[in-house]
Structure 1
Amino acid sequence: MSEHFSLVFNLSDCLAVPDAGTLPFPLIDFLRLRLTPADVDRLPELFARGCIGIDNETVSAGFKLSGGETVCVSLPGHQEDDVDTAWRLLWQNSELMAVYKPHLLPVSRTTRNLYNTLISLVRRQTPYYDARLLHRLDSETAGVILLAKHASADRQWKPRLDQLIIEKVYHAWVTGIPLWQSKTLVCELSERADSAIRSQVYVVDGSDRKHFVKPRHSKTAFRVLYSEAGNALIECRLYTGRKHQIRAQLSYLGHPVVGDKIYGHRGYFYLKRIEEGLDATDFRVLGSRYHRLQAVELTLNIDGERVPIALPAQP
């Protein structure tokens, strides 16, 4: 966890669209758009303490930006978990952007991270300070994720997300090598009222439905792509989008995702992490510090045109 936290804004990236304002642009207005409400309230204190600088020189609240500077904001007392912040742009049009999210980078604020999240990074490293998530990936899952560049695009596309995203493909490294080359699993998924892990979902057992909470139909097509050292790389093509769908279904099939703390090892490492934390020995048993699941392809339908956005597979 970082003991000293600073935000850095490269103005050549942040002020590249017309609605950024007419230059020179007031620094305080720029910061109000990009800091949390709590830190906006602290701005007078931050300026007074010399915590806000332009090109390594402290400035006052009246400073105006010309567009080529680097802004640094130091946040005394603020701490965040160190995570991989190397997101990257994969595709964009005037309203949408598809980006790569690394493993372990949360998509939005958590109890530990306010700024080291995907949406915060996009908002402060691009002109799109009001970007919105159109869907989500688990913190440990990497890959392609779609964002709206601004609130009006979010209002336009989020209600039609099922029509916008017409295909989703993931790759998963799993424990063991399946006896099948391809398999389509159609089942109901649900949480259980008696589960030790509240967030875990299960394939519904029709003979014991009373313990399941709101079962939902799910369908995934699996295909073995490659195997080595007792593990296999599986292509997972989603036909529905349920919580933990791929992870729960692969575990049900006897091949949990490598590194999965909930669906591998009967959830032992998830509960241990909560109670006492995990060590290097635990991660060796898990096979990875994170579960090895990655969204590798989205196909969009934009005005009747198929737009595939693919991430090269990285076994």
Structure 2
Amino acid sequence: MNRKLNKSEALELLTPVVDNEVSAEEREAFLAYIAQDEEVRQEYKSMKTIKALLGERCPCAKAPDSLKDFLSTFCSSETFDDPPIYDIPNKKTVAQQRQPSSSDSSTQQSRWWYYAAAAILLITVSFWGFLNYGITSVENSTYNIEEYAYQHFMKHDGKLVPPTISTASLGSAEIELAQNYDMSMTIPELNKAEFKGIVYEEFVPDFKAPMLEYYISAEDQYIYIFAFEIDKMEEFGQLVRDQEAVKACTKSRDFHIRNINGKHVVSWKWNNIWYSAISNHDGNTLASLVKPLNYEPSDN
């Protein structure tokens, strides 16, 4: 029998559902309810996101020996000043001995309060530290474009990646990119290279960018060119460019070469688009292949 919830019951089940502490019937009833309650549904999504973030950024860690020593000393110390026990005959009856005095009860309650306070303090401090560290790590993490272009090239061994937009026409690719991904840009033409299409995927976590693929059949070599809308990149806030490249690339024919572990990443800027190209070529050779840059290695 399908159980129907009201809002109050759904809110009570919110945390148990996120923690997977409900029966299948309760989960089904909860999901059925939030399907028609936007407010509770959004709260449920938020809690799941927070839990996933904590699980990813705050993994369990072994307690340091210093903390174990502290707790051991704290729990075994005579902090509570218990009165000493002497082996002296007691004239009270058994019944009387079983009745704890008010002072004994008070001491015992105080002891439990100390333990509870210590536990709460430790848990609070530990949780706040982990949470603060996790959030700070997320906020402060940055990704360098040139380094991640290198990582993508090495990940795919500089080979063809199945394109999201498969076409040999630069114009068709520009139209599809604008229509399907709301990104207007110039796809550069490369000397001696055949355009293979566009791979539109996650460049870094939570940020997608197109990767333009070219193939030089005479050399059996592929070239990747990553393209980024500068305003969206700055809005994202975690994707950064090499500062020397930013300073060097002010005009349409300017470019910058950065050596990363023996691979050269060539960067340039056209209007609001930042390009970073990588291949197995020398940086100057790679720059000379980009027709609009109009560069010849002999110039330098």
TM-score, shorter chain, exceeding 0.5: no
TM-score scaled by structure 2?
0.19
Instruction: From the CA coordinates, give the structure whose radius of gyration is larger.
Output: 2
